[in-house]
Chain A
Amino acid sequence: MADLSIEFAGIKAPNPFWLASAPPTDKAYNVVRAFQAGWGGVVWKTLGEDPAAVNVSSRYSAHYGANREVMGINNIELITDRSLEINLREITQVKKDWPDRALIVSLMVPCVEESWKAILPLVEATGADGIELNFGCPHGMPERGMGAAVGQVPEYVEQVTRWCKTYCSLPVIVKLTPNITDIRQSARAAQRGGADAVSLINTINSITSVDLERMIALPIVGQASTHGGYCGSAVKPIALNMVAEIARDPATQGLPISGIGGIGSWRDAAEFMALGCGAVQVCTAAMLHGFRIVEDMKDGLSRWMDSQGYQRIEDFAGRAVGHTTDWKYLDINYQVIAKIDQAACIGCGRCHIACEDTSHQAIANQKLADGSHRYEVVDAECVGCNLCQITCPVEDCIEMVAQDTGKPFLDWLHDPRNPYREAV
């Protein structure tokens, strides 16, 4: 069996599956259950200065798919609503009882040196393995000058990181907010401040839905609502892109990345790792299904690694980074054409109407004598956009077949059709 153990930014863990700082890691009771279930580590629910934050009711809302499966959750919770003292006591005890698991403490205090200087030694005294700086909470906290507001200003990120490295000997992981335009600026700032790693993403500003009877967005608190933070499987594509942006940024080359955002399966985790993550964190998937999901994540990942001949996570982590590039470097002469497996086709017509109405009129609809249809790609019209394959309900029914065009590699920088092309 593959070895799932990791050493991430100097922190050892039996597996790369950590619970993200959130309700699942709110207190000793949950964390112990998580460790019993087999999670490799946790990032404790964000601590702050006393008095503790106060939460409202209700707190979550969701965006659903067709079968009421949850695509994403939106929350308006703040950081821990328990006192610092209780949290520190519990952290100390849990770490003592579970020495082999990674236990990271998430922190958010005001953006002044004194505050950090005061809290860091207390955290270090718990025996925790590292700290994570929460610059990403998009709701409630920014209004107090904490969280996302800090995370959105690279100078602050750098400054706070530096204070942490100054007043604390533990590894520092900087958690990045996605509510910015260029994630690389935040990562570079963290690195300049001396960060041992970055983790991302935190939640994305969101409103999931509106109660059309009451004319109030969700979740409803009394007669009003507010925007919250979005997470869960719907944010995975956004998180993956941000991870890749950092992983392939020469400025932050080699900076360890803990991937977060919509991870719910071993495959999700492997994808984050392929794009450069050394570990991953999970929140929503655990909130929806409980801690037991980690069993399949571990089992599935190690079986897949075995099948690929990977012994350790480092063996494949970052392997897809080199294949992620800018549009201008793509091969403009590459060509795929859709091909329908007639034996697998169930005749729903979705590919036809999608291509006919919104793409390239490249799927012919032939009505057969028995009233059924035959759908066939018109090769000459197909531009290889993948739309039909995407809308087809039958997996693997439409294959995008690479064509031998006989043309050499050509990127846009050198394409004669590019008025700004580089001279050869």
Chain B
Amino acid sequence: MINSLSHLPHPSADNPTLASHFTDLAPPLTARQAMVESARCLYCYDAPCVNACPSEIDIPSFIRNIHQDNVQGAAVKILSANILGGSCARVCPTEVLCQQACVRNNQQECAPVLIGLLQRYALDHAEFNGHPFQRAPSTGKRVAVVGAGPAGLSCAHRLAWHGHDVVIFEAQAKAGGLNEYGIAKYKLVDDFAQHELDFLLEIGGIEIRHGQKLGDNLSLGELQQQFDAVFLGLGLAASRQLGLPDEQAPGLLAATDYIRELRQADDLSALPLADHCIVLGAGNTAIDMAVQMARLGAHDVNLVYRRGVEDMGATAHEQHIAKENQVRLLTWAQPEQVLLDEQGQVRGMRFARTHLVEGRLQTTGETFELAADAIFKAIGQGFDGSALSDAQATQLARDGERIRVDEQLRTSLPGVYAGGDCTHAGQDLTVQAVQHGKLAAEAIHADLMLTVEAA
């Protein structure tokens, strides 16, 4: 994919210098900071922060554990609700989740308790003798999980914990899903996704088979035959298209494709650098893309969005990060034409100015051009329907393109469950995917044990 950018130069800084631009965005708390911060928690009852945490971590209790010098207890508490608590502590937009709800975020108070950083502190400093959770005696049941992203991994861990045997089928060479291939590099440093994966697998009873792609060399029908239940955690594998001519031209690609390459690069100085670039979109992916390109050394990074700032999906915190990294934000402008040079490579884009007319977005008739060596699309991820192409899979009821599930994450097919981004059951966030995986595992467990009892 990055062939599309092979004509571009490389960053001028060397690899160690570039690597230093991708260290922890929010540095971890020191022991003293954790003490001071944990003391700020009011140990609320029926705490608003817990209600705001999609994975229902018992926040007041784990913070109290930290403050009482019981980091181990804090870590176990977090992990028992959210086995990927380590990555969630780093990637969660806490500013719209737990910390938003924290009572100390009230106007009369000073600032929310830094729940995410405390969570990270607990998990970074807990030392376990072996895996903290013991598997229940084997049930003899086998469950197939498709997709080794946060949803699939969380589901697999919980199932293994309950004594089921799990096989995960994963299309990619590495497990972790977007934790491995998508999250901004400065949010998950030091190969964290793989370390967390190793930890998670320590529970035992989980086998991962790579290169297994549903809809390609794998079918839902087969899985249903071979396993007692199936969980689909497929994520959103497709990037939305602009629908403009020349969308395949060198220099124009999906932001997620570039980020994947960046996340896997051993040598950052070998990456293509778009010194002048345009990022299209307004969500956190767009911000991630723009900021990472700026940190690679790009001088002129423009984030262009067709609506106003208040409509942006990116949180205020993320927007702030973008500004701090000299990303320029242009609003009310809609892509109109990809501009190419004589070699047919991207040289810029023409935009149409937009405005709202009676609540509807319309172009004003005015246009402008922006020069760019590359254009990155971050206008949303879509579900890749080709995964659901076999006879069984096509029967799955859908919500729009995504898979329809009920509150227990059951699909319309008995014995088939789904969660995470490939469903419409929540926000497209890591922590939400983890929660879905967990709840689906509980539902699978309940359903499987029901049949055991009935038999």
Residues of A within 8 A of B (CB): 66-68, 344, 346-350, 352-353, 365, 367, 371-373, 393-394
Contacts and interface: CB of A to CB of B under 8 A. Distances in A.
B49 to A, nearest CB: 10
Contacts of A350: 42-45
Interface stretch (B84-92, B101-109, B166-174, B400-408): B101-109
Contacts of A372: 48, 101
Interface string B25-51: 000000000011001001111111001
Nearest to B67: A66
A372 B101 CA distance: 8
Given A347-B48, A349-B44, A371-B52, 17 more contacts: A66-B39, A66-B67, A67-B35, A344-B108, A346-B104, A346-B106, A346-B109, A347-B44, A347-B106, A348-B45, A348-B47, A350-B45, A353-B45, A367-B46, A371-B51, A393-B42, A394-B108
B64 to A, nearest CB: 10
Contacts of B101: 371-372
Contact of A349 (B35, B36, B45, B67): B45
Given A348-B44, A393-B42, A67 B36 contact: yes
A346 B45 CA distance: 12
Interface residues of B, number: 19
A219 B67 CA distance: 23
A344 to B, nearest CB: 7
Nearest to A394: B108
A422 B62 CA distance: 56
Contacts of B106: 346-347
Given A66-B39, A68-B35, A371-B52, A346 B46 contact: no
Contacts of B45: 348-350, 352-353
B35 A371 contact: no
A346 B105 CA distance: 9
A360 B204 CA distance: 49
Interface of B: 35-36, 39, 42-48, 51-52, 67, 101, 103-104, 106, 108-109
16 contacts: A67-B36, A68-B35, A344-B108, A346-B106, A346-B109, A347-B48, A348-B45, A348-B47, A349-B44, A349-B45, A353-B46, A365-B46, A371-B48, A371-B101, A372-B48, A393-B42
Nearest to A367: B46
A352 B47 CA distance: 12
Contacts of A373: 46, 48
A347 B47 CA distance: 8
Nearest to A365: B46
Contacts of A68: 35
A147 to B, nearest CB: 36
Contacts of B67: 66
Contacts of A371: 48, 51-52, 101
B72 to A, nearest CB: 15
A347 to B, nearest CB: 5
B67 to A, nearest CB: 7
A414 B45 CA distance: 42
B372 to A, nearest CB: 43
Contacts of B108: 344, 346, 394
A349 B47 contact: yes
A286 to B, nearest CB: 25
A67 B44 contact: no
Contacts of A348: 42, 44-45, 47, 103
A408 B51 CA distance: 48
User: Which residue among B36, B52, B108 has the maximum number of chain A CB atoms within 10 Å of its CB?
Assistant: B108
A393 B42 CA distance: 7
A349 B46 contact: yes
A352 B103 CA distance: 15
Contacts of A349: 44-47
B289 to A, nearest CB: 32
A324 to B, nearest CB: 33
The 7 closest A-B pairs by CB, nearest first: A349-B45, A353-B45, A346-B106, A346-B103, A348-B44, A66-B39, A348-B103
Nearest to A353: B45
A394 B43 CA distance: 14
A350 B43 CA distance: 8
A369 to B, nearest CB: 12
A350 B42 CA distance: 8
A371 B46 CA distance: 10
Contacts of B36: 67
Contacts of B52: 371
A367 B42 CA distance: 19
B159 to A, nearest CB: 30
A66 B41 CA distance: 10
A415 B42 CA distance: 42
Contacts of A353: 45-46
Contacts of A394: 108
Contacts of A365: 46
Contact of A67 (B39, B43, B48, B51): B39
Nearest to A397: B108
Contacts of B51: 371
Contacts of A347: 44, 48, 103, 106
A347 B109 CA distance: 12
A376 B149 CA distance: 44
Nearest to B109: A346
Nearest to B52: A371
Contacts of A67: 35-36, 39
A68 B38 CA distance: 12
B103 to A, nearest CB: 4
Contacts of A346: 103-104, 106, 108-109
Nearest to A393: B42
A104 B35 CA distance: 43
Nearest to B68: A66
B34 to A, nearest CB: 12
A393 B45 CA distance: 13
A356 to B, nearest CB: 8
A347 B46 CA distance: 10
A276 B39 CA distance: 37
A211 to B, nearest CB: 13
Nearest to A68: B35
A113 B67 CA distance: 55
B169 to A, nearest CB: 37
Nearest to A357: B45
Contacts of A393: 42
